[in-house]
Amino acid sequence: MIGTVLCYVLLPVARLLRAFRDAFFTCRKNMLLAKSTTTHIDGLSAPISGKPVSEEQQALLQQWLEEGAGEVHASESASKPEKVPTISEAEWLEGPELLMTSLSDLNVSPQSGGQEQLPSEVQIETSPGLQEFVEVTGSLPAEEREALGDNAIWAAVRTQADPQMVEAAPLSTEVWIEDPAVLAWSPAQETDVGPTEGAVWPFQNAGQFQPLPLEIPYHEILWRDWEDLSAQACIPELSSEAGSLFEFRVMSYNILAQDLIEQSPHLYMHCHPDIMDWSYRFTNLLQEIQHWDPEILCLQEVQENHYWEQLEPTLTMMGFACIYKRRTGRKTDGCAICYKQSKFQLISASPVEYFRPGLDILNRDNVGLVLLLQPLLPESLGDKSVSPLCVANTHVLYNPRRGDIKLAQMALLLAEVDKTAKMADGNYCPIILCGDLNSVPDSPLYKFIRNGQLYYHGMPAWKVSGQEDFCQNPHQRKLLTPLWPSSLGITDSCQYVSLCQSKKSDRRKYSRDFLLQFRYCDVACERPADLILLEGVTDATPDRPAHWPKELTVVNNSDPDLCYSRYPGSIQHGLNLTSAYSHFLPERGCPEITTMPMGVGATVDYIFYSAKPVKSDNEECRRMYQDGALKLLGHLSLLSEDILWSANGLPNPFCSSDHLCLLASFGLQISDF
């Protein structure tokens, strides 16, 4: 009898309630992510949720921001990563629900009944349906209530906010429908920014969901401005010949492989499990990509099954062609480069595996990918031409102590870029190098890429990436000359030895004058045995001009810089790369952040591009560049560490990776022939 009651009555009721809980949690995510009618606020003084913020609310917001910001000055937090709020699974169920953030905490303590604690100005009502739900749950046994968690409280709270919500086109792709809750990337955001004309917004009309006025307005805190840099680009001809540029946007994005979350769950303790769910993150990431609408997309940490089952099919439907390279060994993620087929045609694709058996310096499973793309000009420009574009993408080893490996990995990638980008005339076509280099700005690895050379001999390996200071470690690994053995086949100038040698023998080793000397040497004048004898013709010996030397002069005119290091203990490359970002936010006076491991902000992701070095007398200084054939026209601003702290770090409900995406717009010179 008891069994029957349990099976047929209590279990279905419990399941129903669980379904309710899930539905309301989704509902709450919606509320958090719902786009307000305002697109941007300065210092949180602008209206949130389309309603003016009362003075008290503003004060609370300010207090909350200050409290958050006060904790997170870069220098402080760098030394105290443990400040990241960590919340265990159990706390999720007992305490306030996850997305409840510090601001909400000011108003609703976990112990409180919820809305009674809210300031009276905040208009909150309980919808009749939800009220009923609360009453039902209130009368449930304690265990049932615990199973439901405090989501119930949140689900029951509904504001009287402006009913105006985002109007959105219905989904055209099934994958997008998976979680219609995601409203993070609403069309309203594109108004100031511009680059998403004609984009389809892949979420359903969610007019029934209203944002809670006191929730973190993620989309506003994490607002990123589009910075137009075309005026700064030192290109006098740009304004007069604005039409002569082939424009495209490049995104670099480490999307955080799901398997890596599972391997290092301790890194994501500050995140609610629901926002770490792949289907939630996938929908959000896809919408973000679609919102910024890049023509070239360089992704890192792309899990192979997610790539083939979801990303590749969806991105193909969005007009991309995609190329993927998985990491070697047992790693399940890799790098992808996707390009809009309407804009580019693939000339070549070269995956690069950094793992080399038997070489300690290359014993890790990271990879890179190098494409050569031909930009497709519109037919109206039929008689014009544009140079191919080399696009490289990589995710370099994380281990902060093994800078030696990181440098060798970069050298392998640069050798492949050198090979791919070198044109018939020996010059390089424009290059874009994206990736997560797991190295911070102005670290030796960064300087190597940007300045084209690095003296490494004797350098502690941990110093190379600048991620952490391990100088206390008495057993420091030092970089010694040569950094990698010659058997690797890569020169100190980050070029393939094989290519150098063939080039040298083909074109560079002997000068024209040197080769001309052979016209008069005895061997050259001797008639080959199988050549018909025509007297006076095939047996004629040319007269040696009087000034020609009898003996051949051996001239060693091979380029010593081409293949061998100019300076022992150093490595070089000749690609002339500079960063699309400055790594500093002048208005905020603090560094740009692309990721926040354990609550510590850092830049490790980059978009480098080819530029022209400006000649300087002091070669030791940071190299100066000006735009060449490839012009940086703009980029999407990055955020500061304190801003990300106020959004509970990364990932959060709005940003579904532990990295921010980088986005830069370029113009490629179109020429007349």
Residues in the site for ligand KL2, rule: CB under 6 A?
254, 260, 264, 267, 398, 436, 438, 595, 597, 604, 658-659
- Residue 98, CB-side half-sphere exposure with 13 Å CA sphere: 24
* Integer Cα distance of 461 and 473 in angstroms: 11
- Contact by Cβ (8 Å): 653, 33: yes
Token output for 383: 């008689």
* Integer Cα distance of 263 and 260 in angstroms: 5
Q: Considering the complex, state which of residue 83 and residue 508 has its C-beta at the smaller distance from ligand KL2.
A: 83
CB 399, min distance to ligand KL2, A: 7
3-state DSSP helix/strand/coil % of the chain, to nearest 5: 35, 20, 45
Q: What is the DSSP-derived secondary structure letter of residue 12?
A: H
Q: Considering the complex, state which of residue 106 and residue 267 has its C-beta at the smaller distance from ligand KL2.
A: 267
- Closest Cα to residue 395, out of 331, 479, 469, 477? 331
Please provide the DSSP assignment of 47-94 as one string: -BTTBPPPHHHHHHHHHHHHHHHHH--HHHHHH-GGGS----HHHHHH
CB 652, min distance to ligand KL2, A: 16
Distance from the Cα of residue 28 to its chain's centroid:
29
Q: Considering the complex, state which of residue 597 and residue 601 has its C-beta at the smaller distance from ligand KL2.
A: 597
CB 465, min distance to ligand KL2, A: 10
Which residue of this chain has its Cβ atom nearest to ligand KL2 in the complex? 398
Q: Please state whether beta strands 431-436 and 389-395 pair in parallel, antiparallel, or not at all (unpaired).
A: parallel
CB 136, min distance to ligand KL2, A: 44
The residues near 380 (Cβ < 8 Å, ≥ 6 apart) are none
Q: Considering the complex, state which of residue 323 and residue 396 has its C-beta at the smaller distance from ligand KL2.
A: 396
Q: Considering the complex, state which of residue 413 and residue 421 has its C-beta at the smaller distance from ligand KL2.
A: 413
The continuous run of DSSP H or E covering 147 comes out as helix 142-148
Q: How many CB atoms lie within 10 A of CB 342?
A: 10
Q: Considering the complex, state which of residue 31 and residue 396 has its C-beta at the smaller distance from ligand KL2.
A: 396
The residues near 300 (Cβ < 8 Å, ≥ 6 apart) are 252, 253, 254, 255, 333, 335, 393, 394, 395, 435, 436
Q: Considering the complex, state which of residue 262 and residue 559 has its C-beta at the smaller distance from ligand KL2.
A: 262
- Contact by Cβ (8 Å): 222, 654: yes
Q: At what angle do helices 11-33 and 128-138 cross, to 10 degrees?
A: 130
Q: Considering the complex, state which of residue 134 and residue 267 has its C-beta at the smaller distance from ligand KL2.
A: 267
Q: Cα Rg for the chain, rounded, in angstroms? A: 31
Q: Name the β-bridge partners of 386.
A: 670
Q: What is the DSSP-derived secondary structure letter of residue 651?
A: S
Q: How many CB atoms lie within 10 A of CB 65?
A: 19
CB 198, min distance to ligand KL2, A: 32
CB 293, min distance to ligand KL2, A: 24
CB 264, min distance to ligand KL2, A: 6
CB 603, min distance to ligand KL2, A: 11
Q: Considering the complex, state which of residue 227 and residue 365 has its C-beta at the smaller distance from ligand KL2.
A: 365
Q: Considering the complex, state which of residue 402 and residue 623 has its C-beta at the smaller distance from ligand KL2.
A: 402
CB 398, min distance to ligand KL2, A: 4
* Integer Cα distance of 316 and 668 in angstroms: 25
Q: Considering the complex, state which of residue 84 and residue 156 has its C-beta at the smaller distance from ligand KL2.
A: 84
- Closest Cα to residue 287, out of 255, 258, 335, 333? 255
Token output for 449: 């890429």
CB 327, min distance to ligand KL2, A: 9
Q: Considering the complex, state which of residue 250 and residue 660 has its C-beta at the smaller distance from ligand KL2.
A: 660
CB 154, min distance to ligand KL2, A: 31
CB 604, min distance to ligand KL2, A: 6
